[in-house]
Amino acid sequence: MTYALPNNLSSYWLPFTPNKAFKAAPRFITGAAGQFYFTSDGRKIRDGFSGMWCSILGHCHPKISEAVNAQVRKLDYSPAFNFAIPETFDLATRIAAQFPAGLEHVFFTNSGSEAVDTALKMALTYHRARGEASRVRFIGRVNGYHGVGFGGISVGGMPNNRKFFGLALPGVDHLPFPYDARSDSFTKGEVDRDPSIYLQELESLVTLHDSSTIAAVIVEPVIGSAGVFIPPRGYLQKLREITQRHGILLILDEVITGFGRLGAANGASYFGVTPDLCTMAKGINNAVVPMGAVIASQNIYDTILDSSRSGIEFFHGYTYSAHPLAVAAGLATQSILAEDEVYARANALAPFFQEAMHSLKGEPYVTDIRNLGLAGGLTLAPHPDGPGTRGYALFLAAYERGLAIRSNGDTIAIAPILISERQDIEDIIEHVRRSLRSLG
Ligand SMILES: Cc1ncc(COP(=O)(O)O)c(C=O)c1O
């Protein structure tokens, strides 16, 4: 299909993109179906990254497109405050049913970043409601990614996302990165070793600040955006035990791990840990309309609601929270996930994906490979021109060969669509292999 290309590339400022390089050699996506994008120059690009971890059922799924079309003809928008559409309650119920018992109440946002800021605000509101307003400190983790709001970059631990933006939230500490490239490289799945060394810092922070000042710890169950790093076996369980002992809330940021990426409904279920709050976004409605959410424990919900005799209990929300089109896409997505047993399917494919990923060991510049479920990460030896150069070069080489993947610095993330077949995985990995071999 031909497409009228814009003659002015100046006005649009692209996010998280080298704008000058992009505008010198733009990549225009003009359509998509299933596992493929179509480009303005008539090429077919395999999606090896599920959009950005989010198009978990592939692109333009007819049932989701139809649901959104039907909704936009029926009701385009209704106010998010003091009104609701009936369907939103059904979507919340279906989401809550997928999380461990005790996590019961869903608050909708429009993105993962908003979900993170919402969860942090819920934690503060909860402690204040129960008479511990002194609990205002947060603890994140080195290399964590929690979106781009000021809350998210404060608890996040990726230097470039923080260093340009001043001091952000005060009173935030970070746990160490729970991965040691010297000993953990090329591990398949979870590393088998004692996670305590990575959690001693939490006990030290409790000693330093006193638990009465700490509101919450937030971590991703599997570190996603920094390049797919899997904490050692037992890490999350131990983190849960320590936080509980000190009355500190545990927030799991499930923006990537929610809705099947690990071959289970979410990271909490996969690791058998019940946090107090979980954030989610990405796969919630197959990314057809922006949507995120936070699920809160019964205790947090009751405490916040009971603290207010009348009126608004939680002074927070967005004009587009639970937007009718996002809800319609969400219900359609959740039906497909259940009817097609997508989590079980992803779980069944995971061992094949693991072997395929690790078959890249020995290819040029590959210094590490990691995987869990249908999430895979590669680390490349840095190019003499500087960190990130080789990772970006691989991203470009893969695109030239017809594959979309994601680079962050010199790490590469691969995230197949959850309903992939073995052939799709083989195709992604062979593209990556050929792209690696083409690097100078
Ligand atoms: C764990 C995690 N949290 C939060 C976010 C931010 O989500 P969004 O880009 O929708 O704001 C992301 C995005 O990749 C993420 O991976």
Tell me, yes or no, whether 195 and 318 share the same domain.
Answer: yes
Mark which of 339, 367, 400 sits at the end of a domain: 339
Q: What is the DSSP string of 268-334?
A: HHHHT---SEEEE-GGGGTTSS--EEEEEEHHHHHHHHHT-SSS-SS----TTTT-HHHHHHHHHHH
* Ligand 1 atom at minimal distance to the Cα of residue 282: 10
Spacing, Cα 193 to ligand 1 middle (Å): 28
Spacing, Cα 288 to ligand 1 middle (Å): 16
Residue 3 within a domain: no
Mark which of 294, 311, 339 sits at the end of a domain: 339
Over its C-alpha atoms, the chain yields an Rg (Å, rounded) of 22
* Whether 46 contacts 284, CB under 8 Å: no
Q: Domain range holding 234?
A: 67-339
Residue 248 within a domain: yes
Q: Could you tell me how far CA 71 lies from the centroid of its own chain?
A: 27
Residue 261 within a domain: yes
Tell me, yes or no, whether 309 and 361 share the same domain.
Answer: no
253 lines ligand 1 (CB under 6 A): yes
Q: What is the mean pLDDT of the chain?
A: 97
Q: Report the distance separating Cα 224 and Cα 255, nearest Å.
A: 9
Mark which of 291, 318, 339 sits at the end of a domain: 339
- Banded model confidence at residue 2, pLDDT cuts 50, 70, 90: low
* Ligand 1 atom at minimal distance to the Cα of residue 290: 10
| 88 closest CA partner among 343, 285, 250 | 285
254 lines ligand 1 (CB under 6 A): no
103 lines ligand 1 (CB under 6 A): no
Q: What is the CATH number of the domain that holds 401?
A: 3.90.1150.10
Quote the pLDDT of residue 440: 77
Residue 221 within a domain: yes
- Residue-wise pLDDT for 201-217, tens only, equals 999 999 999 999 999 99
Describe the chain by its helix, strand, coil percentages, rounded to 5.
40, 20, 45
* Ligand 1 atom at minimal distance to the Cα of residue 281: 10
Quote the pLDDT of residue 309: 83
Q: What is the CATH number of the domain that holds 252?
A: 3.40.640.10
Residue 10 within a domain: no
Tell me, yes or no, whether 355 and 327 share the same domain.
Answer: no
- Banded model confidence at residue 308, pLDDT cuts 50, 70, 90: confident
Q: What is the count of structural domains for the chain?
A: 2
Residue 14 within a domain: no
Residue 2 within a domain: no
Residue 9 within a domain: no
pTM, rounded to two decimals: 0.98
